[in-house]
Structure 1
Amino acid sequence: MKKIFHFLLKGILALVAFLLVTFIVLKLVYNDDIPKGIPGKPADEMAFKILDAIHHKEFTQAKEIHWTFRGVNRYEWKLQQNMVDVYWDDYRVSYQTQYPKISFAFKKGKRIEGEEKQEAIDYAAFNFNNDSFWVVAPHKIFDIGTTRELVEENGRQKLLVKYNSGGTTPGDTYLWEVDENYQPIAFKMWVSIIPFDGIEAKWSNWEMTAGGFPLSRKRTLFGIEIPVTDLKVIP
């Protein structure tokens, strides 16, 4: 019995050591400072070119966007009503994106109140803010509370977007890289929920939707695809 215990203990210690070394290595590799760029007109001009490339006007006119994230959270976002139905387990929250206090929450089809209601709304809000970003992030570069800077790196122009207020994690910063047509292909991020600085996520496989604007169908981080499925636009 003691031999088994010592074997398990050694295994746990080895795993902890491996994870610690991996964390240290990643922290050393992904330790970029946020670059400094030129704010004002030059940055905004680039931002408008990106919005033109992704048909932002058509995006704002869409009725609904549906998707599932991680196979757990399902969304039916009604853009014109500033409302999204969020489904998970036995819950559904009709979350009002501009006025969260008037949101409704249901469990097994029955309306809930009190602390359980608030917990459900908080869950819906946090996850919608995160999960929708992985679907429509390029359309949010002029969100309220954002600032933009034009950055020159390796002879290429990039757009730095800082989210100074609003959302779930204010202070997050993203450096967008685009192709020759100003369509986004990747961003580096400095975000509070990830302990590494300057991690790159790639955006690819852009396809036109029924709403007349394209969406990326593949986003990868460390080569692992971000799990967005059942993506559909209702014009």
Structure 2
Amino acid sequence: MKKIFRFLLKGFLALVAFLLIAFIVLKLVYNEDIPKGIPGQPADEMAFKILDAIDHKEFTEAKEIHWTFRGVNRYEWKLQQNMVDVYWDDYRVSYQTQYPKISFAFKNGKRIEGEEKQEAIDYAAVNFNNDSFWLVAPHKIMDIGTSRQLIKEDGKEKLLVTYNSGGTTPGDSYLWEVDENYLPIAFKMWVSIIPLDGIEATWSDWEMTDGGFPLSRKRTFFGFQIPITDVKVLP
């Protein structure tokens, strides 16, 4: 028994050491400082070019966007009503994006109250903020509470967007790279929930939706595709 315990302990310590070394290596690789650029009109002009490239006006006029994230959370986002129905397991939350306190929560079709209601609303809020960002992040580059800087890097112009307020993790920054038509192709992230600085995600396979604006159909992070499925836009 002692030999088995010692064997398991050695294995556990070896795994911990491996993970620690891997994290240190990744931290050394992804340890970029947030770049500094030109704020104000030059940055905003680039932001408007990006919004034109992705038909942002048509996006703002869409009635609903439906999608599923990770095969777990299902969303029916009613943009004109500032409301989204969030479904998971036996729960449904009618989440009011601008006035969360008036949201409703249900379990097995029955309305719930008290602590269980608040926990369900909190779950819906956190997940909607994250999952909708991965769906439509380029449309949020001029949201209220954001600031922008024009970055000149590697012979290209890029747009750094910082979310100073709002959302679940204020203070996060994203450096957008675009193609020759100002269509987003990637961003680097400086975010509180990831302890690596400047890690990149790609955005590709843009396709036109029924709402008259395109969405990326393939977003990859660390070589893995972000699991967004069943996307549907109701114009």
TM-score, length of structure 1 as denominator length: 0.99
Which string of whole-angstrom CA distances, capped at 9 and with x for unpartnered residues, describes residues 16-73 of structure 1?
1111011111111100000000001100000000000000000001011111111111
Which string of whole-angstrom CA distances, capped at 9 and with x for unpartnered residues, describes residues 66-118 of structure 1?
11111111100000110000001110000000000000000010000001000
Instruction: Please provide the CA RMSD for this pair.
Output: 0.6
SS at match of 1:134: helix
Q: Aligned equivalents of 1:30 and 1:69: distance in 2? A: 26
Shift of 1:8: 1.1
Q: Aligned equivalents of 1:59 and 1:11: distance in 2? A: 52
Question: Partner of 1:52 in structure 2?
Answer: 52
TM-score, length of structure 2 as denominator length: 0.99
Question: Partner of 1:221 in structure 2?
Answer: 221
Shift of 1:2: 1.7
The aligned runs of 1:166-205 (5 Å cut-off) are 166-205=166-205
Percent identity between the two aligned chains:
86
Which string of whole-angstrom CA distances, capped at 9 and with x for unpartnered residues, describes residues 127-158 of structure 1?
00000000000000110100000000011000
Q: Aligned equivalents of 1:10 and 1:26: distance in 2? A: 24
Q: Aligned equivalents of 1:93 and 1:72: distance in 2? A: 14
Question: Partner of 1:134 in structure 2?
Answer: 134
SS at match of 2:31: coil
Q: Aligned equivalents of 2:49 and 2:164: distance in 1? A: 22
Question: Partner of 1:163 in structure 2?
Answer: 163
Q: Aligned equivalents of 2:14 and 2:72: distance in 1? A: 32
Question: Partner of 2:39 in structure 1?
Answer: 39
Question: Partner of 2:99 in structure 1?
Answer: 99
Residue 76 (str. 1) matches residue 54 (str. 2): no
SS at match of 1:36: coil
Shift of 1:5: 1.3
Question: Partner of 1:115 in structure 2?
Answer: 115
The amino acid across from 1:3 in the alignment is: K
Shift of 1:10: 1.2
Matched residue count:
235
Q: Aligned equivalents of 1:233 and 1:23: distance in 2? A: 40
Q: Aligned equivalents of 2:93 and 2:140: distance in 1? A: 23
Q: Aligned equivalents of 2:17 and 2:184: distance in 1? A: 38
Report runs of 4+ in structure 1 exceeding 6 Å deviation: none
Shift of 1:3: 1.7
| Unaligned runs of at least 5 residues, structure 1 | none
Question: Partner of 2:67 in structure 1?
Answer: 67
SS at match of 2:76: strand
